[in-house]
Structure 1
């Protein structure tokens, strides 16, 4: 295991702390798989640092945690990364204290580095329309184009996370639904409405998908898939990486720099365009599945910046007298 100060393998007790903590997070807090993987990586890196110093989780003092954070900063890690790692350490020691593994919590009074509050990158409505047009015309076969159109229409219509999109069960799309039930982070469910174009694209893709499934079943090639977007990998559905690659291809076809287009940027575009259209911030929070309104409030800064630019450009008193 490569830690902050070299190659060290944590002892068995330290690894048991991490595995038990992660099991509890999955069972009690309903943490998502990606969250658990992030916790695991961060805690193993911290464990390697602690082991290198000849210490253990059970005995490490507050100074060790602070030294680890200083080491992370010296490595040039971003504030957000350091804040995330401290969060994982705090939760581990809070859990250890509650379980009686330690009589104190060495991380409780440590202040984090904070996060750089950057404005989310987004796309204009014209750019999104160009991506949707590219989806309708890009693909090796007609079936590919139908699937690509459905992916893009549904993603932009709902603002889903890419993991939620590719993992949608086909049962959620049956019966020409006007709303989709989405299982988000931590297993939390929410309902999101579908636009008319998204419903039409969904219906067309279902017909193509079901026909392909029937053909494969008749040839006994594979059992029926339970996912809306089947895949051949271990997960059984289209992977996030495959969709990310598809999005890059579509951005090139749409004449947009591929660096600017990611699944999360489309999620930002969904929220920003709703806000610009007058949607309530609480409603956007619900649609995005944000647990805290403060997470959603960052989109108001995007709108504030655009309104400021609008005033500076068009208000008669914003320009110096000629």
Structure 2
């Protein structure tokens, strides 16, 4: 059976029956497609344990995969092969006997408070070609740093999702298909108000909250990628959008936020995921160690 055709059926099933996100089906297509191209297999008859195991060996040795990348390919191919076995396109899942490496226990990379403030300053004062860009970009990066939104959560925000009167942001179907509400600060609200005023002047009517400067449609992932590169160069700071999310979490803990509330704002399914940030912020740990009863006043 042709693997490419099976993959399309699998993605259709995953989207409409299992209800996975568009990003997940995109990952299925990318990872399974990469496997087929590298190992030059087109049909299920060409699959066997040796072919599958050699692919992961190539990944680790030649392509220098990190443990995280290895695990992503592993889980993607495993779920696809399981579906193929269920549908009787394969007799067995050839990935089952492959050893899965342990996760690397690295701390989340976050900015210091001064670097986060400096980045917002650079975003605001960058020599843009149009003032609309100044207010939109500042609002966008403020949203990342003050709410911890994921990239796709921000790009998918609708106008009705941001309630400036009640100071909340409604995240619709975030990771894991979960809705959540995040409170926003007065500082962030001021930046958003300035952006909305400029947006209105530009007569943008599309439903997306953050919009393209030259079209009446939502801001794109590619546009955000280009903007991040511009700001890295202008600020001299290396960061990713996920760095901004980590920065939100560590700064919230340093400010005294409790771990349960932070977990809810981050949209974590398990509070254990949030506790890793306790180890990444020295200021929070320092504030706790002074509570030792043997400390001298």
| TM-score calculated relative to the size of structure 1 | 0.77
Query: 1-side partners of 2:39 and 2:213: how far apart?
Result: 41
Q: Aligned residue for 1:257?
A: 236
Q: 1:176 to 1:119 in 2, by over 3 A?
A: same
Query: 1-side partners of 2:216 and 2:107: how far apart?
Result: 33
Query: 2-side partners of 1:65 and 1:108: how far apart?
Result: 10
Q: Aligned residue for 1:242?
A: 223
Q: Aligned residue for 2:258?
A: 280
Query: 2-side partners of 1:175 and 1:140: how far apart?
Result: 28
Q: Aligned residue for 2:11?
A: 22
Query: 2-side partners of 1:65 and 1:130: how far apart?
Result: 47
CA RMSD of aligned residues (A): 3.0
Q: Aligned residue for 1:227?
A: 208
Query: 2-side partners of 1:36 and 1:234: how far apart?
Result: 27
Q: 1:306 to 1:196 in 2, by over 3 A?
A: closer
Shift of 1:156: 1.2
Shift of 1:205: 1.5
Query: 1-side partners of 2:58 and 2:229: how far apart?
Result: 36
The answer as to whether partners of 1:231 and 1:237 remain within 8 angstroms in 2 is yes
Q: Mark the runs of 5 or more structure 1 residues left unpaired by the alignment.
A: 1-11, 215-223, 312-322
Q: Aligned residue for 1:209?
A: 199
Query: 2-side partners of 1:305 and 1:64: how far apart?
Result: 49
Matched, 1:68 2:59: no
Shift of 1:285: 2.4
Shift of 1:32: 2.4
Q: Deviations over 1:76-104 (max 9, x none)?
A: 22222121111111111222233343443
* Secondary structure in structure 2 of the residue aligned to 1:297: helix
Q: Aligned residue for 1:101?
A: 89
Query: 2-side partners of 1:66 and 1:188: how far apart?
Result: 35
* Secondary structure in structure 1 of the residue aligned to 2:18: coil
Q: 1:306 to 1:203 in 2, by over 3 A?
A: closer
Q: Aligned residue for 1:217?
A: none
Instruction: Mark the structure with the bigger radius of gyration.
Output: 1
Query: 2-side partners of 1:257 and 1:143: how far apart?
Result: 24
Please give the residue correspondences for 1:1-322 in structure 2 after superposition, counting only pairs within 5 Å.
13-49=2-38, 51-52=40-41, 56-57=43-44, 60-75=47-62, 76-138=64-126, 139-173=128-162, 176-183=165-172, 184-213=174-203, 224-231=205-212, 236-251=217-232, 253=234, 256-258=235-237, 260-303=238-281, 307=285
Give the length in aligned residue pairs.
286
Shift of 1:306: 7.8
